Amino acid sequence: MLAYVAKRLLSLVPVLFVVTIVLFLIIHVTPGGPAASILGLEASGEEIAELNQELGLDRPIALQYVSWVGKVLRGDLGNSIFMNQSVAQAIREHAGPTLSLAIIAQFIAIALAIPFGIWAAYKRGTAADFTLMGISLLGMAVPGFLLGLFLMLLFGVHLQWLPVAGYKELSAGFWEHVKHLILPGLSLGTIQAALITRMTRSSMLDVLNLNYIKTARSKGLRESGVLLKHAFRNAFLPILTVLGQTFGTLVTGAVVVESIFNIPGLGQLILNSIARRDYSVIQGVVLVATLLYVGINLIIDLLYGAVDPRVRLDRK
């Protein structure tokens, strides 16, 4: 197992190297260079040169990269030009709402998807199965931000059941907090729910055809026991992978959904930074989100290895 962990960790090195190169270079593809972009059209050559010096952009590019990565490794993501605070601080302040939203969306996705998936597999080939699969196909075709607008229109504007937009801290009370995140959570979680439903169904179908399920049934076990205790446990591994992958997508998908519902998370931070040309913040947020995404996938992979010994034997 240790060798597997080490190998998996090592494989991340080139990935992270490329990620840092790409994110580092993004700043440098701005037309006219970042300093000119930040200062705007009316800036004089002197002002641009001054800012370049201040930002360290006048040094050779390789040197800039090395010093940037060195700082990142120490947790220093640079400073926001506009907000007068460090990027790390800004990210910490905005991470809470994004994380809350992602967790609620994941909860919604699992709560919908796993029962539906099991049901569709159990009722395979019937109208119930076709309906569920049809809905999930539609769920995958509706992007989160669009669903968000639809939900906002229906439940916020017309029915007025839930707040149209906004965000309340957890300190304002659990229900207040959750209430503001239900619509965003639904808009974010539906695509994941659709994916997980399909995955659950197909992975249940694989298992339901196996002989030990027939044995369980012929022993006279109740159908619910066969489905949940015998079949689902073995069908869970592929579902676990999808869960991990979708949680990563949730964190990043949150960025778009936040902007619809005015949630002051990382998404809003990055969008405001685009308007202010605050490049170090954009770089920082994307880097942190990527690390989170890569980290979650790593954990899932390791879990997979821990749960299913075949995985780590295969890859040795």
Partner 1 sequence: MRREQRSLAIRRIGGSPAFVAGAAIFLLLAALALFAPWLTSYGPYDMKVTERLNAPSGTHLLGTDEFGRDLLTRLMYGARVSIGVGLVVALLSSLLGLLIGVYAAYYKTLDHVLMRICDGLVAIPGILLAIALMAALGASALNVVIALTIVFTPNIARVVRSSALIVKEQTYIEAMRAQGAGDLRIIWRHIVPNTLSPLLVQASFVFAEAIISEAALSFLGAGVPAPEPSWGNILQASKLVIYKAWWMVVFPGAIIVLSVLSLNLLGDGLRDWLDPRVKGKRT
Chain residues binding partner 1 by CB under 8 A are: 14-19, 21-23, 26-27, 29-31, 137-138, 140-143, 145-146, 149-150, 152-153, 157, 164, 248-249, 252-253, 255-256, 259-260, 270-271, 273-275, 277, 279, 282-283, 285-286, 289-290, 293-294
Minimum gap (Å) between residue 5 Cβ and partner 1: 19
Task: Taking each helix axis as running N to C, give the angle between helix 174-208 and helix 144-151, from 0 to 180 degrees, rounded to the nearest 10.
Answer: 130
- 8 Å CB contact between 34 and 283: no
Measured from the Cβ of residue 204, the count of other Cβ atoms closer than 10 Å reads 26
Nearer to partner 1, 9 or 18 (CB): 18
> Beta partners for 86?
79
Distance in Å, CB of 232 to partner 1, minimum: 27
In Å, how far are 46, 49, 113, 140, 180 from 135, measured between CA atoms? Answer: 60, 57, 12, 9, 25
**Structure tokens that stand for 255 in this block:** 């960025």
Least distance between partner 1 and beta carbon 43 (Å): 16
| CB-nearer residue toward partner 1: 153 or 210 | 153
Q: Which is nearer to partner 1, 111 or 146 (CB)?
A: 146
> Nearer Cβ to partner 1, position 197 or 283?
283
CB of 290 to partner 1, least distance (A): 5
As measured in angstroms, the least distance from the Cβ of 139 to partner 1 is: 10
**Cβ closest to partner 1, residue 150 vs residue 212:** 150
Phi, psi of 89 (to 5 degrees): -65, -45
Identity of the residue, 61 or 111, whose beta carbon is nearer to partner 1 in the bound complex:
61
CB of 52 to partner 1, least distance (A): 16
Which residues neighbour 207 within 8 Å (Cβ) at sequence distance 6 or greater?
A: 213, 231, 234, 235
- The CA–CA distances, whole Å, from 152 to 69, 116, 161, 263 equal 42, 25, 10, 14
In the complex, the smallest distance separating the C-beta of residue 15 from partner 1, rounded to whole angstroms, is 5
In this complex, which beta carbon is closest to partner 1, that of residue 100 or of residue 136? 136
Radius of gyration of the chain, Cα coordinates, nearest whole angstrom:
24
Tokens 């962990």, residue located: 5
Tell me the CA end-to-end span of the chain in Å, nearest whole number: 9
Q: Smaller CB distance to partner 1: residue 230 or 284?
A: 284
Helical pair 279-307 and 12-28, crossing angle rounded to 10 deg: 170
Cβ 78 to partner 1 shortest distance, Å: 15
Residues 6+ apart with CB under 8 A from 86: 76, 77, 78, 79, 80
The two tokens of residue 145 are: 């931000």
